[in-house]
Amino acid sequence: MNVLIVGGAGYIGAHVVKACLSAGMTVSVFDNLSTGKKVNLFPQVRFIPGDILDTKALDAAMQGQQAVVHLAAKKAVGESMENPEKYAVNNITGTLNVLNAMGKAGVRHIVFSSSAAVYGIPHIPEIDETVPTNPINFYGFTKREIERFLVWYERLRGITFVALRYFNAVGYDAEGDIRGLESHPQNLLPIVMEVANGTRQELSIFGHDYPTPDGTCIRDYVHVTDLAIAHVQALTYLASGKASQILNLGTGKGHSVLDIVRRTETLTKQPIRYVFAPRRHGDPAELRASAAKAKEVLGWQAIHSDLDTIILTTWARYQR
Ligand code: UFG
């Protein structure tokens, strides 16, 4: 299969590229390297430098492709509330450009990076895909709206899709093939790693008065290698002519912020300095996926997502 991976130089994208190459697919990567890294580009891929706002570049890249994986997006929740225009243009207009180029070139399948952020603050901690979407930040809103566009592009242009709602993506390729580290990370685990390796003084833990056993928030951390495998399964699924799907990707298990801190201290043998800070606006106490549908539809299950594997594969990249 010839697959165009839009955003294939980024953190999740590079892991998806590796999984697609391992499955014997022919991979082209389209990326503007705004956050993606050159060091993440595998020598076996055809690299097409380009921006999803450049429709001509997208038209050219679509030639000869059979499917698209679209991961190119802005993803900082806080920034999306301060600069919604950037998210409207990059995420929504950019994705419409990808879909329009697919329509023109006759590319009929897309795997789309969605997010658990579409759910907002659900009433129950374990979320399946029937839980109503109700994003509470503009980032999540863009992902939810794109899912709706996908439904119409299927009806009108015959493009079938799998939208994958990632929970908390963490970890690194265990073979060390993906080396690019995010600049200015905003997510918990990279920040904990930067404290462990001395790049950062301390971690601020946002809230310790949540109704959870240790008072800190619980999340469903899923290894990026498991996420990558789901993309390969979704591409194979779509190529066999099956119906479009929206699927959660998570483990169903939760870890608190303090669980992550303590286990990282043990495994890295480094002290993690932290302070308790006020709650971060819009953080639910507990979020976990039900991934039963992904198992039923794709046969997918998280097999690399135990906490030790997550921490050790990440530490292997951050250790100085
Ligand atoms: N946290 C801290 N201190 C920090 C950073 C995070 O205490 O410096 C806490 C958060 O409050 C939260 C947990 O660590 O309780 C995880 O926070 P992240 O920012 O790593 O992740 P989120 O759960 O907020 O969101 C992530 C992605 C979103 C995605 C969501 C889906 O950043 O894009 O998972 O579940 F939508």
174-226 per-position pLDDT tens digit: 999 999 998 889 999 999 999 999 999 999 999 999 999 999 999 999 999 99
- Find the DSSP H helices in 185-223: 188-196
Yes or no: say if 257 and 216 are a contact pair by the CB < 8 Å rule.
yes
pLDDT at res. 125: 85
* Residue 279, domain member (yes or no): yes
Distance between Cα 278 and ligand 1 center (Å): 14
Residue corresponding to tokens 């073979």: 175
Q: Which residues line ligand 1 (CB under 6 A)?
A: 75, 77, 115-117, 167-168, 187-188, 191, 203-206, 217, 219, 257, 280, 283, 287
pLDDT at res. 78: 87
Residue 66: band (very low, low, confident or very high) from pLDDT cuts 50, 70, 90: very high
pLDDT at res. 94: 98
- The encoded tokens of residue 127 equal 């979320």
Please tell me the least confidently modeled range out of 128-137, 277-286, 287-296: 277-286
- The encoded tokens of residue 196 equal 């462990």
Determine the average pLDDT of the residues in 117-140: 94
Q: Give the domain extent around 238.
A: 2-170+222-249
Residue corresponding to tokens 């697609």: 20
- CA pair distance 275, 72, nearest whole angstrom: 34
pLDDT in tens, 237-266: 999 999 999 999 999 999 999 999 999 999
Q: Is the pLDDT of residue 156 over 80?
A: yes
Q: Spell out a b/e string for 305-319, using b for 16 or more CB atoms within 10 Å of the CB, else e.
A: bebebbbbbbbebbe
Q: Is the pLDDT of residue 68 over 90?
A: yes
- Find the DSSP H helices in 159-275: 188-196, 224-239, 257-268
Give the dihedral of Cα atoms 162, 166, 169, 173; nearest 10 deg. -20
> What counts of helices (H) and strands (E) characterise the chain?
11, 15
Determine the average pLDDT of the residues in 55-75: 98
pLDDT in tens, 287-313: 999 999 999 999 999 999 999 999 999
Q: Could you tell me which residues come within 8 angstroms of residue 46 by beta carbon, excluding any fewer than 6 positions away?
A: 27, 28, 29
* Count of beta carbons in the 10 Å neighbourhood of residue 41: 19
Counting the structural domains of the chain, the total is 2
Same domain, 267 and 287: yes
Same domain, 114 and 237: yes
* Residue 177, domain member (yes or no): no
Same domain, 15 and 48: yes
* Residue 147, domain member (yes or no): yes
DSSP helix/strand/coil, 88: helix
Nearest to 209 by CA among 257, 253, 255: 257
Half-sphere exposure (CA, 13 Å, Cβ side) for 49? 5
Residue 169: band (very low, low, confident or very high) from pLDDT cuts 50, 70, 90: very high
Q: Is the pLDDT of residue 42 over 90?
A: yes
* Residue 182, domain member (yes or no): no
Same domain, 121 and 27: yes
pLDDT at res. 166: 98
Same domain, 208 and 303: yes
Pocket probe mutation, ligand 1, options 127, 136, 192, 219, max atoms within 8 Å of Cβ: 219
Distance between Cα 188 and ligand 1 center (Å): 6
Average pLDDT, whole number, for the chain?
A: 97
Distance between Cα 281 and ligand 1 center (Å): 11
Q: Could you tell me which residues come within 8 angstroms of residue 243 by beta carbon, excluding any fewer than 6 positions away?
A: 160
Nearest CA to ligand 1 atom 14: 188
Nearest CA to ligand 1 atom 33: 75
Yes or no: say if 204 and 275 are a contact pair by the CB < 8 Å rule.
yes
pLDDT at res. 281: 83
pLDDT at res. 183: 83
pTM: 0.97
- What CATH number corresponds to the domain at position 148? 3.40.50.720
pLDDT at res. 320: 75
Same domain, 193 and 118: no
- Active-site annotation holder among 139, 153, 221, 237: 139
What percentage of the chain carries pLDDT values higher than 90?
Answer: 94
Pocket probe mutation, ligand 1, options 142, 168, 307, 314, max atoms within 8 Å of Cβ: 168
- The encoded tokens of residue 239 equal 């190529």
Nearest CA to ligand 1 atom 11: 206
Nearest CA to ligand 1 atom 34: 168
* Residue 155, domain member (yes or no): yes
pLDDT at res. 283: 85
How are strands ordered across the β-sheet holding 245-249? 46-49, 26-31, 2-6, 67-70, 109-115, 160-166, 245-249
- What CATH number corresponds to the domain at position 215? 3.90.25.10
* Residue 18, domain member (yes or no): yes
Same domain, 239 and 265: no
Same domain, 6 and 123: yes
Yes or no: say if 16 and 41 are a contact pair by the CB < 8 Å rule.
no
Which of these three, 196, 231, 249, is where a domain ends?
249
Confirm whether 166 is a catalytic residue.
no
Q: What's the Cα-to-Cα distance from 175 to each of 3, 9, 171, rounded to whole Å?
A: 23, 17, 12
Distance between Cα 1 and ligand 1 center (Å): 35
Nearest CA to ligand 1 atom 2: 205
pLDDT at res. 11: 96
* Residue 175, domain member (yes or no): no
Pocket probe mutation, ligand 1, options 71, 257, 261, 290, max atoms within 8 Å of Cβ: 257
Yes or no: say if 3 and 65 are a contact pair by the CB < 8 Å rule.
yes
Which of these three, 203, 233, 249, is where a domain ends?
249
Distance between Cα 24 and ligand 1 center (Å): 34
Determine the average pLDDT of the residues in 52-72: 98
